[in-house]
Structure 1
Amino acid sequence: MNMFSYKTRLNGQERHISAADERKLTLVFQQCDEGGKGYLRREDLKIAIVMLFGYKPSKSETNLLMDPVLQTHFPGVPLDHFIRLMGRKLSAQDPYEKARQIFMAFDVHCRGFLTVEDFKKAFACVAPHLPERTVQEVFREVDRDSDGHVSFLDFECVISCGQDDDL
């Protein structure tokens, strides 16, 4: 199997693991592979999942992930198996979840749209030294139909276009 051809199935559709995702998974594997032994032990795997997904896996989830490897009498999860396992988890994630969470954090009034004032308040918290003019330019860029409101669709489009640059 080619290094960049990992595929997973989600809702009956095949989804490819991007080269950026594979690089990210490989980097996390290397960071968690204490001692450079070429595999992740149970505790290493838990740390990798925290790094990738932001939660500590339960004992039963860890057992499910480790079981096929341990049945082959290998002491841990090797890189290729890790990429397949974590690639499936990445593909199963809602592709809009990240954008939805950010949008909801900006939409403090729960209106379903954002105004330039919402942008100013959010940017004041996360980038207080950013000039107001820059915030207004960002808002105009995101407000694709220039109606003074940024919908989730406007927001999601901008967020998802920038996600390929992660890593």
Structure 2
Amino acid sequence: MELQFSGNNDHILSVFHECDEGKKGYLTRDDLKVAVVMLFGYKPSKYEVDQIMKGIGGPGVSLEHFVSLMTTKLAAVVGDDEIRQIFMAFDTTCRGFLTLVDVQKAFSTVAPHIPSHRVQKVFSEIDRDGDGRVSYRDFEYMMKYSTEDAL
């Protein structure tokens, strides 16, 4: 079976081949740790490595399995970067939190057809602790988990 990879996976493929000590065709636990450092810039925890290695059914992580896992993981990282950029666009004063006024200004610019009372309702739902501020963590939670419920 020949694997098909898109151009977006070139970096993942090169990391796999670079970390495959001895050109075995799979990554051992140690190889995998190095690969994660190369791709994401952090050393994975023992738990994370255990989760990846669990149920492999062979001596290590195959190329196909590695590409699948790392593509998913990279997509999540890219998604987080996009969420941070959106938050920063809302946070025009760089305070690290959003107020109702910040959110109303953003909505009036990008979605003026949404009534003010709906924007207020969304804000109050996102502001989980009710302090009048939406932290990045609250905003990220809303972007990842509650988008269908927001409006």
Q: TM-score, normalised by structure 2?
A: 0.51
> Gaps spanning 5+ residues in structure 1: where?
1-37, 50-56, 68-80
The correspondence of residues 88-167 of structure 1 with structure 2, limited to 5 A, is 88-92=70-74, 93-94=76-77, 96-162=80-146
- Structure 1 residue 130 displacement after superposition: 0.7
2:71, 2:3 → 1: CA distance?
A: 19
> Gaps spanning 5+ residues in structure 2: where?
18-62
Higher relative CO (Cα under 8 Å, sequence separation at least 6) belongs to: 1
The correspondence of residues 41-60 of structure 1 with structure 2, limited to 5 A, is 45-46=6-7, 49=8
Greater C-alpha radius of gyration: 2
Whether 2:65 is the aligned partner of 1:87: answer no
Encode CA deviations 1:89-120: one digit per residue, 9 max, x unaligned: 33145374343222112111101110111111
2:68, 2:143 → 1: CA distance?
A: 23
Encode CA deviations 1:35-93: one digit per residue, 9 max, x unaligned: xxx9647xxx23xx3xxxxxxx8x8x38738x8xxxxxxxxxxxxx7775253133145
Runs of 4+, deviation exceeding 6 Å: none
SS at match of 2:131: coil
Q: Which has the higher helix share?
A: 2
**How many corresponding residue pairs?**
104
Which amino acid in structure 2 is aligned with residue 107 of structure 1? D
Which amino acid in structure 2 is aligned with residue 150 of structure 1? V
Whether 2:48 is the aligned partner of 1:64: answer no
CA contact (8 A) 2:96 2:135 kept: yes
- Structure 1 residue 152 displacement after superposition: 1.1
Q: Which has the higher strand share?
A: 1
Which amino acid in structure 2 is aligned with residue 138 of structure 1? V
